[in-house]
Structure 1
């Protein structure tokens, strides 16, 4: 895991590109504290901050040239099957100077060009420049585990050149770019508490979509191309596969994924919550590493019992006999939340970033790499929202007005609780969503501010054509002929997973220079899950059915079949206690006053403080937005 940055300046706009890259790299030190490199060659200047994981010798530092000096690369991530690719290249006469996966990318590209992307199994974002043809390629991995921001020097003229970086703050250190707020991104954030790939908070800045590469060639229009199509797997269902066959294949693929992701030249461990995803990975680690006591695992919890998973994690750790580390956190959220916001690039308000931040900090004291169970819920239908999706289909014949009325009644009679994903919260969200068509209903399960609420909150009119739902709807179109639950899974992978879950894990772990790896996101495993019949993933209301069945010989029954808890922070409670002063200061700051109506903020606080309505997610989102705006003044 590293940080990359660069400039493509074919018209020599800047005289001091190396100085600019130094400023950009200085803002990526947390991503790569071990080494720095800057290389200028022809139209490009590449920068790199290194977190040494594979081949920690100086010879493996970046930016790096291939053997012929034709290709220059700056790269962030891991290619888990680099040894297999290296072996193929060696059989064709290629000789290597290092043991790094960086050199493998370069020599693979020299041999196969852009087709080499089909061979890579891993997480990555990189820039590669071909000195002979003057072609620049920006590339991002299939699932979007690694970030890559970019912007053209002149938004109206892509031929003017561009800058790119792993971090938004780093990119904005280039003097070509101005910090102008993007209203569409603001609308996305307030709707979801995160921002989708299609928008960035600064005008003119773009995020390279997952599974795409951007091809820049002097004098021509840039070409954004997709190199992997997940929808194709959802359309190629393996309806005849038996439960036994699917279970066996799943375990083979998990073992294959873990085999590549356990390769490290520095200490490696795993997050262990006691849930099925992390427990499955740790059980697999113990089988591959042979000595369970050498497997280090990490878990944290809070004083609030319903938000702590320490006891569950201890049960699994004792069963698997691993070296388990636990910590009950009493957060200094007033200071830590400011630090968290500073590391998120854009406003971000998934409350689980708080425990993830503390967990990464805790794990980093012992290891440099940690495996995480991210992706399991999206692949195998593990979220409560999929149960809601299925329930929606069951009652789809009922008139929508019944649900609208039910929602209004629930708002009046169900008492508000501040417990984790409480019954009243789920009931109200379900009834509201079920008053709409299926696509809008699925979107609404995680919606924060609804359109009418946004109109009242913001001082400027919202643009319906820039709504976050428009992005969701376009992804639904990709799989419109598939089972409704397959549609939901695909849309979540393209939105919630890439723009919330993976952003959270990347930013929280990189804040502490910890590399995280997600074995469930091996694209071969993702394709397999997409091809599975829905009945093997959600059977009745048993979520993750196949994953649970596949692990029955490795994990205790209570671990596999206990109710999912999720990894959240008790933000609704904290906002009425120690975090209230910070939140109000952020929300009523000068920048926020230009954007929001104070009377609406007053109403949100009054209802939350008296526990009439749990506005925890809305208030947390507004708090993070206010803190972010102050930091970007």
Structure 2
């Protein structure tokens, strides 16, 4: 795992100052503390910070050039099938000078050009310069595990970096906020991958590549992979169960290759427990596992993690962290650059910190909920769509809209008891309702918070529209398909994978996600909906398949996850901070201070629940301060 950066001039080969590239890579030191490199030529410069994982010798250093010097690459990630691809290339006459996966990109480009991406199984973001073709080729892995930001500068250059802070190190980057990104952030709690808080900066989308050629304008990225929910696998439950286990096993085993210590996160939930079980099956030595716990019994999963650790005789470590761990706020603001309000990032940072004490690589259970419909919201969406199908749209909007308007609001209750939320969702189109269900701050509350000037600047931009468009155009058969597909496009890369990448790389730890192996994801997407959700259970086929490995109280207990009591914070230790938000000069440029004061007062008094929105505003203010001063 590494940090990359660079600069390319497509119009004319202007000279590139190596010191400028070095500054961009050094801003990402945490991503690669083991070494650095800079390469420049007329019109191009590539930089690299190295976290050495495979081939720890200097032969694996980057930027890496081909033997004839025509190709140079800077690369972040791991290609898990690189030995297989290397064998294919050697059969075509390629001669390798290292044992690293990086060199596969150079020979792969020579042999297949952009089509080499279809042969790679891994997580990656890279930039490859070809002096013969006079071009720069950038690509990002299928699911968006590894990030890549880029921007067109005033002098005609295209700068890129793994993290936004790498671009911020370039003096020509104009630092102006994009109000549309603020709207999107307030809606979802993260800035989606199709926009950036710094105006003009773009993120190469997951499963996309970008070919910039000399003498041509910068084109839009091209999609080279997408998940397809429109196909259906056939076969008995037993046959599909065996195929699921086989694909999971292959995914885990392919991610055990490393020349440094390797372990796993173990929460005691289904996903991480399944990964640890398959790691133990494949390993001749004890798997190194770690978990964090909380003093609050209702949030503490250490007992379940201990149960799995004992079952597979892992080398297990745990640490208790305080629920009021808000001292990490500034650390997270620095790590994420853009505002990020998924409060589970605090716990994720702590478990990465613990893992890094013993290992350099850790496997996680990320991805199973998206691939196999593990979130409760999928079950609700499917049920609501069945009800919607019984009524014409006009009748549905009139009946359920009226009932929802009359029913009292109960944000404090579990969703199953929040009839107002359900009734109003039934009155809407399914895509509209799902877009709101994944949100944090509602459109109504956002409209109250934004100043009149900000609303005019948005020019009708609405965060939920991206979900609506994606779901309506999804390669899908039913409601669950469409919801999962939309989450693969937005929620997974924008929230889950951003969280794991930034918190792990902040402590120079490589995180690997076997349950996001694209072959596993493609198979999971083809399963009939009844194999994903059955009898109220998400991930049904996976749980059934793992009964041979894990006890039922691990497989079928209610999902917990990392829970951070942010609402309590703003009625306790952070109450003053909530009150001070209304006086913030930064927030005052976009929001109505009276509206902020109102929600802070209502929350502190217990008359309303605004904890997550207040957390969003705190993280936004601190991120804006860091980015724009």
Q: Is the 8 A contact 1:333 1:579 kept in 2?
A: no
Aligned partner of 2:203 in structure 1 is: 207
Aligned partner of 2:586 in structure 1 is: 591
Answering whether residue 316 of structure 2 is matched by residue 321 of structure 1, we say: no
Answering whether residue 226 of structure 2 is matched by residue 234 of structure 1, we say: no
Q: Distance in 1 between matches of 2:425 and 2:177?
A: 30
CA displacement at 1:409 relative to structure 2: 5.6
Aligned partner of 2:66 in structure 1 is: 66
Q: Distance in 2 between matches of 1:443 and 1:365?
A: 40
Q: Is the 8 A contact 1:587 1:622 kept in 2?
A: no
Residue 520 (structure 1) aligned to one of 504, 515, 524: 515
Point out the more displaced range, 429-438 or 527-536. Answer: 429-438
Aligned partner of 1:118 in structure 2 is: 118
SS of structure 2 residue aligned to 1:138: strand
Q: For 1:277-426, list aligned pairs within 5 A.
A: 277-291=271-285, 294-330=286-322, 333-396=325-388, 397=390, 399-404=396-401, 407-408=404-405, 411-412=408-409, 414=410, 416=412, 422-423=414-415
Aligned partner of 1:556 in structure 2 is: 551
CA displacement at 1:301 relative to structure 2: 2.0
Q: Is the 8 A contact 1:334 1:582 kept in 2?
A: no
Q: Distance in 1 between matches of 2:420 and 2:380?
A: 12
SS of structure 1 residue aligned to 2:548: coil
Q: 1:155-196: CA deviations, max 9, x gaps?
A: xx9xx2200001112102112211011011111001111111
Q: Is the 8 A contact 2:78 2:122 kept in 1?
A: yes
Q: Is the 8 A contact 1:415 1:424 kept in 2?
A: no
Aligned partner of 2:620 in structure 1 is: 625
Q: Distance in 2 between matches of 1:505 and 1:254?
A: 20
Q: Is the 8 A contact 1:7 1:17 kept in 2?
A: no
Answering whether residue 24 of structure 2 is matched by residue 29 of structure 1, we say: no
Point out the more displaced range, 473-482 or 525-534. Answer: 473-482
Q: Cα–Cα, structure 1 residues 370 and 323, in superposed 2: closer, same or farther, change >3 Å?
A: same
Q: Is the 8 A contact 1:271 1:278 kept in 2?
A: yes
Q: Cα–Cα, structure 1 residues 223 and 15, in superposed 2: closer, same or farther, change >3 Å?
A: closer
Q: Is the 8 A contact 1:586 1:627 kept in 2?
A: no
Aligned partner of 2:238 in structure 1 is: 244
Unaligned runs of 5+ in 1: none
CA displacement at 1:407 relative to structure 2: 4.5
CA displacement at 1:430 relative to structure 2: 3.5
Instruction: Report the RMSD for the aligned CA atoms in angstroms.
Output: 2.0
Q: For 1:406-555, list aligned pairs within 5 A.
A: 407-408=404-405, 411-412=408-409, 414=410, 416=412, 422-423=414-415, 429-459=421-451, 460-461=454-455, 463=458, 465-479=460-474, 482-555=477-550
CA displacement at 1:606 relative to structure 2: 1.7
Q: Is the 8 A contact 1:80 1:261 kept in 2?
A: yes
Q: For 1:9-28, list aligned pairs within 5 A.
A: 9-10=9-10, 17-28=17-28
Q: Is the 8 A contact 2:10 2:215 kept in 1?
A: no
- TM-score, normalised via structure 1 length: 0.94
Q: 1:45-81: CA deviations, max 9, x gaps?
A: 0110111111111221100002221110000000000
Q: Distance in 2 between matches of 1:128 and 1:440?
A: 40
Q: Distance in 2 between matches of 1:428 and 1:350?
A: 25
Q: Distance in 2 between matches of 1:317 and 1:123?
A: 28
SS of structure 1 residue aligned to 2:455: coil
Aligned pair count reads: 620
Aligned partner of 1:170 in structure 2 is: 166
Q: 1:274-333: CA deviations, max 9, x gaps?
A: 111111100000000034xx2011111222222222122112212222122111102674
Q: Distance in 2 between matches of 1:409 and 1:351?
A: 33
Q: Distance in 2 between matches of 1:65 and 1:435?
A: 59
Aligned partner of 1:259 in structure 2 is: 253
Answering whether residue 602 of structure 2 is matched by residue 610 of structure 1, we say: no
Q: Distance in 2 between matches of 1:582 and 1:269?
A: 38
Q: Distance in 2 between matches of 1:506 and 1:425?
A: 35
Q: Distance in 2 between matches of 1:424 and 1:267?
A: 44
Q: 1:244-301: CA deviations, max 9, x gaps?
A: 111111111111111211101111111111111111100000000034xx20111112
Point out the more displaced range, 301-310 or 403-412. Answer: 403-412
SS of structure 2 residue aligned to 1:395: helix
Q: Cα–Cα, structure 1 residues 415 and 202, in superposed 2: closer, same or farther, change >3 Å?
A: closer
Q: 1:367-426: CA deviations, max 9, x gaps?
A: 1111111110011110010121122123223634554455456545x4837xxxx45886
Point out the more displaced range, 313-322 or 173-182. Answer: 313-322
Point out the more displaced range, 323-332 or 110-119. Answer: 323-332
